[in-house]
Protein backbone atom coordinates (compact mmCIF):
# COMPACT_ATOMS: atom_id res chain seq x y z
CA UNK A 1 0.00 0.00 0.00
CA UNK A 2 2.68 2.62 0.85
CA UNK A 3 4.30 3.06 -2.59
CA UNK A 4 0.86 3.24 -4.15
CA UNK A 5 -0.06 6.05 -1.80
CA UNK A 6 2.96 7.99 -3.13
CA UNK A 7 2.40 7.07 -6.76
CA UNK A 8 -1.20 6.08 -7.50
CA UNK A 9 -0.46 5.69 -11.21
CA UNK A 10 1.95 2.82 -10.66
CA UNK A 11 -0.01 -0.25 -11.72
CA UNK A 12 2.60 -2.64 -10.40
CA UNK A 13 2.60 -1.18 -6.88
CA UNK A 14 -1.18 -0.95 -6.93
CA UNK A 15 -1.46 -4.67 -7.69
CA UNK A 16 1.10 -5.49 -5.00
CA UNK A 17 -0.81 -3.39 -2.47
CA UNK A 18 -4.25 -4.83 -3.11
CA UNK A 19 -2.74 -8.31 -3.35
CA UNK A 20 -1.17 -7.90 0.10
CA UNK A 21 -4.48 -6.65 1.52
CA UNK A 22 -6.35 -9.66 0.11
CA UNK A 23 -3.72 -12.01 1.57
CA UNK A 24 -4.22 -10.40 4.98
CA UNK A 25 -7.98 -10.76 4.55
CA UNK A 26 -7.56 -14.46 3.73
CA UNK A 27 -5.18 -15.12 6.64
CA UNK A 28 -7.69 -13.64 9.08
CA UNK A 29 -10.63 -15.54 7.60
CA UNK A 30 -9.56 -18.90 6.22
CA UNK A 31 -7.43 -20.90 8.73
CA UNK A 32 -8.88 -23.41 11.21
CA UNK A 33 -12.50 -23.14 10.07
CA UNK A 34 -13.29 -26.42 11.84
CA UNK A 35 -12.00 -25.10 15.17
CA UNK A 36 -12.57 -21.34 15.12
CA UNK A 37 -15.27 -20.79 16.19
CA UNK A 38 -15.21 -23.91 18.39
CA UNK A 39 -18.35 -25.69 17.26
CA UNK A 40 -21.27 -25.29 14.91
CA UNK A 41 -24.15 -22.87 15.48
CA UNK A 42 -27.68 -24.22 15.05
CA UNK A 43 -28.59 -21.66 12.37
CA UNK A 44 -25.47 -22.64 10.44
CA UNK A 45 -26.62 -26.25 10.62
CA UNK A 46 -30.11 -25.26 9.48
CA UNK A 47 -28.67 -23.60 6.39
CA UNK A 48 -26.54 -26.68 5.74
CA UNK A 49 -29.49 -29.03 6.09
CA UNK A 50 -31.53 -26.99 3.62
CA UNK A 51 -28.63 -26.91 1.18
CA UNK A 52 -28.21 -30.70 1.47
CA UNK A 53 -31.95 -31.31 1.11
CA UNK A 54 -31.94 -29.63 -2.32
CA UNK A 55 -30.11 -32.65 -3.75
CA UNK A 56 -32.08 -35.36 -1.98
CA UNK A 57 -35.01 -37.22 -3.57
CA UNK A 58 -37.90 -34.78 -3.83
CA UNK A 59 -35.67 -31.82 -3.01
CA UNK A 60 -35.42 -28.64 -5.07
CA UNK A 61 -34.31 -25.04 -4.97
CA UNK A 62 -36.81 -22.67 -3.36
CA UNK A 63 -37.80 -19.03 -3.61
CA UNK A 64 -38.00 -18.86 0.19
CA UNK A 65 -36.61 -21.47 2.58
CA UNK A 66 -39.20 -21.53 5.34
CA UNK A 67 -38.10 -24.39 7.59
CA UNK A 68 -38.10 -23.01 11.17
CA UNK A 69 -38.24 -19.40 9.89
CA UNK A 70 -38.36 -17.79 6.41
CA UNK A 71 -35.00 -17.18 4.74
CA UNK A 72 -34.11 -15.54 1.43
CA UNK A 73 -32.64 -17.90 -1.19
CA UNK A 74 -29.49 -16.31 -2.65
CA UNK A 75 -27.01 -17.51 -0.04
CA UNK A 76 -28.81 -20.85 0.33
CA UNK A 77 -28.49 -21.43 -3.42
CA UNK A 78 -24.74 -20.80 -3.36
CA UNK A 79 -24.48 -23.06 -0.32
CA UNK A 80 -26.35 -25.85 -2.09
CA UNK A 81 -23.77 -25.91 -4.89
CA UNK A 82 -20.94 -25.99 -2.33
CA UNK A 83 -22.55 -28.93 -0.53
CA UNK A 84 -23.10 -30.70 -3.83
CA UNK A 85 -19.43 -30.32 -4.74
CA UNK A 86 -17.83 -30.96 -1.36
CA UNK A 87 -20.43 -32.88 0.64
CA UNK A 88 -22.00 -31.82 3.96
CA UNK A 89 -18.82 -30.34 5.38
CA UNK A 90 -18.61 -27.52 7.92
CA UNK A 91 -15.25 -26.39 6.50
CA UNK A 92 -16.54 -26.34 2.91
CA UNK A 93 -19.61 -24.31 3.84
CA UNK A 94 -17.66 -21.82 5.92
CA UNK A 95 -15.21 -21.53 3.01
CA UNK A 96 -18.05 -20.03 0.98
CA UNK A 97 -18.35 -17.26 3.56
CA UNK A 98 -14.58 -16.77 3.49
CA UNK A 99 -14.75 -16.28 -0.28
CA UNK A 100 -17.64 -13.80 0.02
CA UNK A 101 -15.82 -11.88 2.74
CA UNK A 102 -12.62 -11.56 0.68
CA UNK A 103 -14.63 -10.63 -2.41
CA UNK A 104 -16.31 -7.82 -0.44
CA UNK A 105 -12.88 -6.41 0.44
CA UNK A 106 -11.91 -6.40 -3.25
CA UNK A 107 -15.27 -4.94 -4.29
CA UNK A 108 -14.96 -2.09 -1.80
CA UNK A 109 -11.53 -1.23 -3.21
CA UNK A 110 -12.73 -1.30 -6.83
CA UNK A 111 -15.79 0.77 -5.96
CA UNK A 112 -13.90 3.46 -4.00
CA UNK A 113 -10.85 3.96 -6.21
CA UNK A 114 -12.91 5.91 -8.75
CA UNK A 115 -14.82 7.87 -6.10
CA UNK A 116 -12.32 8.60 -3.33
CA UNK A 117 -8.93 7.99 -4.95
CA UNK A 118 -6.39 5.20 -4.84
CA UNK A 119 -5.04 5.95 -1.37
CA UNK A 120 -8.47 6.05 0.28
CA UNK A 121 -9.61 2.93 -1.61
CA UNK A 122 -6.60 0.93 -0.44
CA UNK A 123 -6.92 2.18 3.13
CA UNK A 124 -10.64 1.33 3.20
CA UNK A 125 -10.07 -2.16 1.79
CA UNK A 126 -7.36 -2.74 4.39
CA UNK A 127 -9.69 -1.60 7.17
CA UNK A 128 -12.44 -3.99 6.05
CA UNK A 129 -9.90 -6.79 5.65
CA UNK A 130 -8.80 -6.40 9.28
CA UNK A 131 -12.11 -5.38 10.88
CA UNK A 132 -13.00 -8.01 13.50
CA UNK A 133 -16.71 -7.29 12.99
CA UNK A 134 -16.53 -8.36 9.33
CA UNK A 135 -13.93 -11.10 9.85
CA UNK A 136 -16.08 -12.98 12.35
CA UNK A 137 -19.04 -13.23 9.97
CA UNK A 138 -16.72 -14.22 7.13
CA UNK A 139 -16.12 -17.41 9.14
CA UNK A 140 -19.81 -18.22 9.76
CA UNK A 141 -22.61 -19.61 7.60
CA UNK A 142 -25.12 -16.75 7.60
CA UNK A 143 -26.86 -15.10 4.68
CA UNK A 144 -26.31 -11.65 6.24
CA UNK A 145 -22.77 -11.72 4.78
CA UNK A 146 -24.10 -11.37 1.22
CA UNK A 147 -25.70 -7.97 1.78
CA UNK A 148 -22.54 -5.85 2.36
CA UNK A 149 -21.13 -7.01 -0.97
CA UNK A 150 -24.50 -6.52 -2.65
CA UNK A 151 -24.82 -2.91 -1.50
CA UNK A 152 -21.24 -2.23 -2.62
CA UNK A 153 -22.20 -3.47 -6.07
CA UNK A 154 -25.46 -1.51 -6.09
CA UNK A 155 -23.84 1.80 -5.13
CA UNK A 156 -20.96 1.23 -7.54
CA UNK A 157 -23.41 0.48 -10.36
CA UNK A 158 -25.41 3.64 -9.63
CA UNK A 159 -22.32 5.87 -9.58
CA UNK A 160 -20.98 4.25 -12.72
CA UNK A 161 -24.32 4.68 -14.49
CA UNK A 162 -24.51 8.35 -13.49
CA UNK A 163 -20.92 9.04 -14.61
CA UNK A 164 -21.13 7.20 -17.93
CA UNK A 165 -24.76 6.59 -18.89
CA UNK A 166 -25.05 3.41 -20.95
CA UNK A 167 -27.81 0.86 -21.29
CA UNK A 168 -25.81 -2.02 -19.82
CA UNK A 169 -24.96 0.03 -16.72
CA UNK A 170 -28.63 0.86 -16.25
CA UNK A 171 -29.57 -2.80 -16.66
CA UNK A 172 -26.88 -3.86 -14.16
CA UNK A 173 -28.19 -1.40 -11.60
CA UNK A 174 -31.74 -2.65 -12.16
CA UNK A 175 -30.69 -6.29 -11.76
CA UNK A 176 -28.91 -5.54 -8.48
CA UNK A 177 -31.87 -3.48 -7.28
CA UNK A 178 -34.33 -6.29 -7.93
CA UNK A 179 -31.94 -8.98 -6.73
CA UNK A 180 -31.55 -7.37 -3.33
CA UNK A 181 -34.86 -8.91 -2.25
CA UNK A 182 -33.22 -12.35 -2.44
CA UNK A 183 -30.35 -11.52 -0.03
CA UNK A 184 -31.27 -10.83 3.58
CA UNK A 185 -34.08 -9.22 5.60
CA UNK A 186 -31.97 -6.11 6.34
CA UNK A 187 -32.27 -5.28 2.62
CA UNK A 188 -35.62 -3.62 3.38
CA UNK A 189 -33.85 -1.17 5.68
CA UNK A 190 -31.53 -0.28 2.78
CA UNK A 191 -34.42 0.68 0.48
CA UNK A 192 -34.16 4.39 1.41
CA UNK A 193 -30.59 4.36 0.09
CA UNK A 194 -31.68 2.43 -3.00
CA UNK A 195 -34.53 4.91 -3.54
CA UNK A 196 -32.18 7.89 -3.33
CA UNK A 197 -29.91 6.26 -5.91
CA UNK A 198 -32.88 5.71 -8.24
CA UNK A 199 -34.06 9.31 -7.89
CA UNK A 200 -30.52 10.62 -8.33
CA UNK A 201 -30.05 8.63 -11.54
CA UNK A 202 -33.51 9.53 -12.79
CA UNK A 203 -32.88 13.26 -12.31
CA UNK A 204 -30.21 13.09 -14.99
CA UNK A 205 -31.78 10.51 -17.29
CA UNK A 206 -35.21 12.13 -17.72
CA UNK A 207 -33.59 15.01 -19.58
CA UNK A 208 -33.19 13.00 -22.80
CA UNK A 209 -35.05 10.35 -24.76
CA UNK A 210 -32.19 7.84 -24.51
CA UNK A 211 -31.95 8.56 -20.81
CA UNK A 212 -35.62 7.81 -20.30
CA UNK A 213 -35.16 4.53 -22.18
CA UNK A 214 -32.27 3.61 -19.89
CA UNK A 215 -34.28 4.54 -16.81
CA UNK A 216 -37.23 2.48 -18.00
CA UNK A 217 -34.90 -0.45 -18.67
CA UNK A 218 -33.39 -0.22 -15.18
CA UNK A 219 -36.76 -0.11 -13.45
CA UNK A 220 -38.21 -2.79 -15.70
CA UNK A 221 -35.33 -5.18 -15.05
CA UNK A 222 -35.59 -4.48 -11.31
CA UNK A 223 -39.30 -5.35 -11.36
CA UNK A 224 -38.72 -8.43 -13.49
CA UNK A 225 -35.96 -9.78 -11.24
CA UNK A 226 -37.87 -9.11 -8.03
CA UNK A 227 -41.19 -10.43 -9.37
CA UNK A 228 -40.81 -14.14 -8.37
CA UNK A 229 -40.08 -13.49 -4.70
CA UNK A 230 -42.60 -10.65 -4.43
CA UNK A 231 -45.24 -12.90 -5.98
CA UNK A 232 -44.31 -15.59 -3.45
CA UNK A 233 -44.80 -13.11 -0.62
CA UNK A 234 -48.20 -12.18 -2.01
CA UNK A 235 -49.19 -15.85 -2.09
CA UNK A 236 -47.63 -16.65 1.31
CA UNK A 237 -47.60 -13.37 3.29
CA UNK A 238 -46.50 -15.14 6.45
CA UNK A 239 -43.09 -15.73 4.82
CA UNK A 240 -42.68 -11.98 4.62
CA UNK A 241 -44.26 -10.92 7.90
CA UNK A 242 -43.61 -13.76 10.35
CA UNK A 243 -39.93 -12.99 10.94
CA UNK A 244 -40.33 -9.18 11.17
CA UNK A 245 -43.27 -9.75 13.49
CA UNK A 246 -41.17 -11.97 15.75
CA UNK A 247 -38.48 -9.31 16.18
CA UNK A 248 -40.68 -6.21 16.12
CA UNK A 249 -40.01 -3.89 19.08
CA UNK A 250 -43.77 -3.22 19.19
CA UNK A 251 -44.65 -6.86 19.82
CA UNK A 252 -45.03 -5.97 23.52
CA UNK A 253 -46.95 -2.74 22.95
CA UNK A 254 -46.33 0.78 21.65
CA UNK A 255 -44.82 2.18 24.84
CA UNK A 256 -42.47 -0.76 25.23
CA UNK A 257 -41.53 -0.51 21.54
CA UNK A 258 -40.64 3.17 21.72
CA UNK A 259 -38.53 2.58 24.82
CA UNK A 260 -36.77 -0.31 23.09
CA UNK A 261 -36.05 1.79 20.01
CA UNK A 262 -34.70 4.63 22.12
CA UNK A 263 -32.40 2.32 24.03
CA UNK A 264 -31.28 0.58 20.84
CA UNK A 265 -30.52 3.90 19.16
CA UNK A 266 -28.38 5.11 22.04
CA UNK A 267 -26.39 1.88 22.11
CA UNK A 268 -26.07 1.70 18.33
CA UNK A 269 -24.64 5.23 18.19
CA UNK A 270 -21.69 4.17 20.34
CA UNK A 271 -21.27 0.65 18.96
CA UNK A 272 -18.12 1.63 17.05
CA UNK A 273 -16.49 3.34 20.01
CA UNK A 274 -17.65 2.07 23.35
CA UNK A 275 -19.64 -1.11 23.94
CA UNK A 276 -20.42 -3.47 21.09
CA UNK A 277 -22.36 -6.66 20.63
CA UNK A 278 -22.11 -8.83 23.75
CA UNK A 279 -23.34 -12.03 22.06
CA UNK A 280 -20.50 -14.59 21.99
CA UNK A 281 -21.89 -15.94 18.74
CA UNK A 282 -20.89 -12.83 16.84
CA UNK A 283 -18.34 -10.91 18.87
CA UNK A 284 -15.97 -10.99 21.79
CA UNK A 285 -18.60 -9.84 24.32
CA UNK A 286 -18.28 -6.17 25.17
CA UNK A 287 -15.84 -5.32 22.38
CA UNK A 288 -16.68 -2.28 20.28
CA UNK A 289 -17.13 -2.74 16.55
CA UNK A 290 -13.77 -1.07 15.85
CA UNK A 291 -10.43 -1.38 17.61
CA UNK A 292 -8.79 1.66 19.21
CA UNK A 293 -6.79 2.53 16.08
CA UNK A 294 -9.75 2.23 13.73
CA UNK A 295 -11.91 4.33 16.05
CA UNK A 296 -9.67 7.37 15.63
CA UNK A 297 -9.65 7.25 11.84
CA UNK A 298 -13.38 6.48 11.67
CA UNK A 299 -14.15 9.60 13.70
CA UNK A 300 -11.98 11.74 11.42
CA UNK A 301 -13.44 10.21 8.27
CA UNK A 302 -16.97 10.82 9.55
CA UNK A 303 -16.13 14.48 10.20
CA UNK A 304 -14.67 14.83 6.70
CA UNK A 305 -17.80 13.40 5.11
CA UNK A 306 -20.10 15.62 7.15
CA UNK A 307 -18.06 18.69 6.21
CA UNK A 308 -18.05 17.82 2.49
CA UNK A 309 -21.57 16.37 2.31
CA UNK A 310 -22.72 19.03 -0.17
CA UNK A 311 -19.61 18.97 -2.34
CA UNK A 312 -18.83 15.28 -2.78
CA UNK A 313 -21.45 12.83 -3.94
CA UNK A 314 -19.80 9.96 -2.05
CA UNK A 315 -20.18 11.70 1.33
CA UNK A 316 -24.01 11.70 1.59
CA UNK A 317 -24.12 8.17 0.17
CA UNK A 318 -21.82 6.85 2.90
CA UNK A 319 -23.69 8.72 5.64
CA UNK A 320 -27.07 7.41 4.44
CA UNK A 321 -25.59 3.91 4.03
CA UNK A 322 -24.38 4.05 7.63
CA UNK A 323 -27.76 5.24 8.91
CA UNK A 324 -29.70 2.58 6.99
CA UNK A 325 -27.16 -0.06 7.98
CA UNK A 326 -27.63 0.41 11.71
CA UNK A 327 -31.42 0.71 11.40
CA UNK A 328 -31.98 -3.09 11.63
CA UNK A 329 -30.49 -3.14 15.11
CA UNK A 330 -32.38 -0.01 16.17
CA UNK A 331 -35.83 -1.03 14.96
CA UNK A 332 -35.86 -4.67 16.04
CA UNK A 333 -36.44 -6.37 19.35
CA UNK A 334 -32.91 -7.36 20.18
CA UNK A 335 -30.03 -6.90 22.54
CA UNK A 336 -28.57 -3.92 20.72
CA UNK A 337 -26.20 -3.41 19.07
CA UNK A 338 -26.70 -6.57 17.06
CA UNK A 339 -23.71 -6.98 14.75
CA UNK A 340 -25.37 -9.70 12.67
CA UNK A 341 -28.37 -7.59 11.68
CA UNK A 342 -26.28 -4.47 11.01
CA UNK A 343 -23.41 -6.17 9.16
CA UNK A 344 -24.48 -4.36 5.98
CA UNK A 345 -23.00 -1.19 7.49
CA UNK A 346 -19.44 -2.60 7.56
CA UNK A 347 -18.34 -1.36 4.08
CA UNK A 348 -19.58 2.15 4.91
CA UNK A 349 -17.79 2.05 8.27
CA UNK A 350 -14.62 0.78 6.57
CA UNK A 351 -14.88 3.47 3.88
CA UNK A 352 -15.24 6.26 6.45
CA UNK A 353 -12.32 4.84 8.43
CA UNK A 354 -10.19 4.45 5.31
CA UNK A 355 -10.95 7.99 4.17
CA UNK A 356 -9.90 9.26 7.60
CA UNK A 357 -6.68 7.24 7.52
CA UNK A 358 -5.88 8.32 3.96
CA UNK A 359 -6.47 11.98 4.78
CA UNK A 360 -4.23 11.95 7.84
CA UNK A 361 -1.57 10.02 5.90
CA UNK A 362 -1.87 12.62 3.11
CA UNK A 363 -1.28 15.46 5.56
CA UNK A 364 1.78 13.71 6.93
CA UNK A 365 3.02 12.94 3.40
CA UNK A 366 3.19 16.63 2.55
CA UNK A 367 5.95 16.99 5.10
CA UNK A 368 7.47 13.52 5.41
CA UNK A 369 6.40 11.03 2.74
CA UNK A 370 8.19 8.15 4.45
CA UNK A 371 6.39 8.88 7.72
CA UNK A 372 3.04 8.68 5.92
CA UNK A 373 3.95 5.27 4.59
CA UNK A 374 4.93 4.13 8.07
CA UNK A 375 1.73 5.50 9.59
CA UNK A 376 -0.50 3.64 7.13
CA UNK A 377 1.40 0.37 7.45
CA UNK A 378 1.55 0.60 11.23
CA UNK A 379 -2.20 1.27 11.53
CA UNK A 380 -3.05 -1.76 9.39
CA UNK A 381 -0.49 -3.95 11.17
CA UNK A 382 -1.89 -3.07 14.60
CA UNK A 383 -5.47 -3.76 13.50
CA UNK A 384 -4.39 -7.05 11.92
CA UNK A 385 -2.66 -8.12 15.12
CA UNK A 386 -5.56 -7.17 17.36
CA UNK A 387 -8.08 -8.99 15.17
CA UNK A 388 -5.86 -12.06 14.86
CA UNK A 389 -5.50 -12.19 18.64
CA UNK A 390 -9.23 -11.91 19.21
CA UNK A 391 -10.17 -14.42 16.50
CA UNK A 392 -7.58 -17.13 17.17
CA UNK A 393 -6.52 -16.68 20.80
CA UNK A 394 -9.58 -15.29 22.60
CA UNK A 395 -12.80 -16.19 20.78
CA UNK A 396 -12.32 -19.99 20.49
CA UNK A 397 -11.14 -20.39 24.09
CA UNK A 398 -14.18 -18.85 25.75
CA UNK A 399 -16.50 -21.46 27.22
CA UNK A 400 -19.56 -19.29 26.57
CA UNK A 401 -18.68 -19.26 22.87
CA UNK A 402 -18.05 -23.02 22.90
CA UNK A 403 -21.39 -23.60 24.61
CA UNK A 404 -23.37 -21.36 22.27
CA UNK A 405 -21.77 -23.11 19.28
CA UNK A 406 -22.87 -26.51 20.62
CA UNK A 407 -19.29 -27.61 21.19
CA UNK A 408 -20.22 -30.83 23.04
CA UNK A 409 -22.61 -31.96 20.29
CA UNK A 410 -19.96 -31.32 17.63
CA UNK A 411 -17.36 -33.35 19.54
CA UNK A 412 -19.78 -36.25 19.91
CA UNK A 413 -20.83 -36.08 16.25
CA UNK A 414 -17.21 -36.14 15.09
CA UNK A 415 -16.56 -39.14 17.30
CA UNK A 416 -19.66 -40.98 16.07
CA UNK A 417 -18.62 -40.38 12.46
CA UNK A 418 -15.36 -42.22 13.09
CA UNK A 419 -16.78 -45.21 14.99
CA UNK A 420 -15.47 -48.58 13.87
CA UNK A 421 -17.69 -51.05 12.00
CA UNK A 422 -17.84 -53.56 14.86
CA UNK A 423 -19.39 -51.11 17.36
CA UNK A 424 -22.85 -49.73 18.08
CA UNK A 425 -22.52 -46.13 19.29
CA UNK A 426 -25.11 -44.93 21.80
CA UNK A 427 -25.51 -41.14 21.87
CA UNK A 428 -27.72 -39.21 24.32
CA UNK A 429 -30.86 -37.86 22.63
CA UNK A 430 -30.22 -34.22 23.57
CA UNK A 431 -27.33 -34.37 21.10
CA UNK A 432 -29.02 -36.36 18.35
CA UNK A 433 -32.07 -34.09 18.39
CA UNK A 434 -29.99 -30.98 17.70
CA UNK A 435 -29.33 -29.64 14.21
CA UNK A 436 -25.52 -29.37 14.57
CA UNK A 437 -25.21 -33.08 15.40
CA UNK A 438 -27.69 -34.04 12.69
CA UNK A 439 -25.84 -32.14 9.99
CA UNK A 440 -22.36 -33.33 10.92
CA UNK A 441 -23.48 -36.98 10.93
CA UNK A 442 -25.07 -36.70 7.47
CA UNK A 443 -21.76 -37.94 6.09
CA UNK A 444 -21.26 -40.69 8.69
CA UNK A 445 -19.68 -43.78 7.16
CA UNK A 446 -22.00 -46.09 9.12
CA UNK A 447 -25.09 -44.15 10.26
CA UNK A 448 -26.89 -47.45 10.93
CA UNK A 449 -24.46 -48.06 13.81
CA UNK A 450 -25.48 -44.90 15.72
CA UNK A 451 -28.37 -45.18 18.21
CA UNK A 452 -29.88 -42.44 20.39
CA UNK A 453 -30.83 -43.30 23.97
CA UNK A 454 -32.92 -41.33 26.40
CA UNK A 455 -32.06 -42.78 29.81
CA UNK A 456 -31.80 -40.05 32.42
CA UNK A 457 -28.85 -41.99 33.84
CA UNK A 458 -27.08 -43.92 31.07
CA UNK A 459 -26.84 -47.21 32.95
CA UNK A 460 -29.15 -49.34 30.84
CA UNK A 461 -31.04 -51.44 30.23
CA UNK A 462 -29.80 -50.79 26.70
CA UNK A 463 -32.15 -51.10 23.76
CA UNK A 464 -31.40 -54.07 21.53
CA UNK A 465 -29.04 -53.43 18.65
CA UNK A 466 -30.85 -54.15 15.38
CA UNK A 467 -28.97 -56.56 13.19
CA UNK A 468 -28.74 -55.40 9.59
CA UNK A 469 -29.49 -57.99 6.94
CA UNK A 470 -26.37 -59.85 5.93
CA UNK A 471 -24.25 -58.28 8.67
CA UNK A 472 -23.14 -59.62 12.04
CA UNK A 473 -24.40 -57.90 15.16
CA UNK A 474 -21.95 -55.32 16.56
CA UNK A 475 -19.45 -56.97 18.88
CA UNK A 476 -19.40 -54.06 21.35
CA UNK A 477 -21.26 -51.01 22.49
CA UNK A 478 -19.75 -47.55 22.74
CA UNK A 479 -21.70 -45.26 25.06
CA UNK A 480 -21.30 -41.49 25.54
CA UNK A 481 -21.75 -40.69 29.23
CA UNK A 482 -21.09 -37.70 31.50
CA UNK A 483 -17.76 -37.58 33.28
CA UNK A 484 -19.28 -38.72 36.56
CA UNK A 485 -17.33 -41.19 38.66
CA UNK A 486 -20.50 -42.81 40.01
CA UNK A 487 -21.81 -43.49 36.50
CA UNK A 488 -18.47 -44.81 35.30
CA UNK A 489 -18.25 -47.21 38.26
CA UNK A 490 -21.84 -48.35 37.80
CA UNK A 491 -21.22 -49.28 34.18
CA UNK A 492 -19.28 -52.27 35.45
CA UNK A 493 -15.78 -53.72 35.30
CA UNK A 494 -15.99 -54.74 31.64
CA UNK A 495 -15.89 -51.17 30.36
CA UNK A 496 -12.90 -49.22 29.15
CA UNK A 497 -12.48 -45.57 28.27
CA UNK A 498 -11.99 -44.86 24.57
CA UNK A 499 -12.07 -41.07 24.54
CA UNK A 500 -12.60 -38.11 26.81
CA UNK A 501 -14.35 -34.89 25.74
CA UNK A 502 -13.09 -31.58 27.10
CA UNK A 503 -14.13 -27.93 27.25
CA UNK A 504 -11.81 -25.24 25.82
CA UNK A 505 -10.32 -24.82 29.30
CA UNK A 506 -9.46 -28.52 29.54
CA UNK A 507 -12.27 -29.63 31.87
CA UNK A 508 -13.47 -33.14 30.97
CA UNK A 509 -17.23 -33.11 30.57
CA UNK A 510 -17.89 -36.49 28.91
CA UNK A 511 -16.44 -39.92 28.24
CA UNK A 512 -16.88 -42.53 25.50
CA UNK A 513 -16.70 -46.00 27.05
CA UNK A 514 -16.65 -49.39 25.37
CA UNK A 515 -18.46 -52.47 26.68
CA UNK A 516 -19.44 -55.88 25.31
CA UNK A 517 -22.19 -55.87 22.71
CA UNK A 518 -24.50 -58.19 24.63
How many angstroms separate the Cα of 231 from the Cα of each of 224, 227, 237? Answer: 11, 6, 10
Helix or strand or coil: residue 28?
Answer: helix
What is the per-residue pLDDT across 449-497, written as a single tens digit (0 to 9) for each?
788 887 655 565 555 555 554 556 677 888 898 888 888 887 777 888 8
Domain range list for the chain: 2-400, 406-516
pLDDT per residue as tens digits for the range 274-310? 888 888 888 888 789 999 999 999 999 999 999 998 8
Q: Which stretches in the chain have pLDDT values below 50?
A: 1-6, 8, 469
pLDDT at 448: 72
Looking at residue 199, its pLDDT comes to 95
Q: What pLDDT sits at residue 421?
A: 72
pLDDT of residue 118: 92
Question: DSSP 3-state helix, strand, coil percentages of the chain (rounded to 5)?
Answer: 65, 5, 30
- For the chain, the distance separating the N- and C-terminal CA atoms, rounded to the nearest angstrom, is 68
pLDDT at 4: 42
Q: What is the predicted pLDDT for the residue at 1?
A: 38
Asked if 145 contacts 97 with a C-beta cutoff of 8 angstroms, the reply is yes
Provide long-range contacts, Cβ within 8 A and 24+ apart, for 242-250. Answer: 242/69, 242/70, 243/69, 243/70, 243/185, 244/185, 246/69, 247/332, 247/333, 247/334, 248/332, 248/333, 249/331, 249/332, 249/333
Q: Are 151 and 347 contacting, i.e. CB atoms less than 8 angstroms apart? A: yes
CA distances from 126 to 47, 74, 109, 296, 448 (A): 30, 27, 9, 15, 49
Contact 180, 187 (CB under 8 A): yes
- DSSP-derived secondary structure letter, 394: I
Amino acid sequence: MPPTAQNPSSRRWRLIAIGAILIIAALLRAPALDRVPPGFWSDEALNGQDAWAVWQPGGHFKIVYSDLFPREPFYETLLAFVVKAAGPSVVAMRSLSVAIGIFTVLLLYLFLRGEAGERAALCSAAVLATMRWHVIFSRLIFRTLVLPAWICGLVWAALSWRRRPTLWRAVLFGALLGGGFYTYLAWYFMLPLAGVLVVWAAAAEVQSRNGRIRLAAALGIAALVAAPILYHYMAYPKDLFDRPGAVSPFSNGMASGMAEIGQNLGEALVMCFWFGDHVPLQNIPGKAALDAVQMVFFAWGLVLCLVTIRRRVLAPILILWLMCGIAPTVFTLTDSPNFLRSLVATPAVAALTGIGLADIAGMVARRKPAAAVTLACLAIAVSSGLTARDIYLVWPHREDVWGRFHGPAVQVADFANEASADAAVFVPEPFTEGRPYQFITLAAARPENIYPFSNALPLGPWPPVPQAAGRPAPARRIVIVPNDERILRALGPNTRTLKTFSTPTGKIWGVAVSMPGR
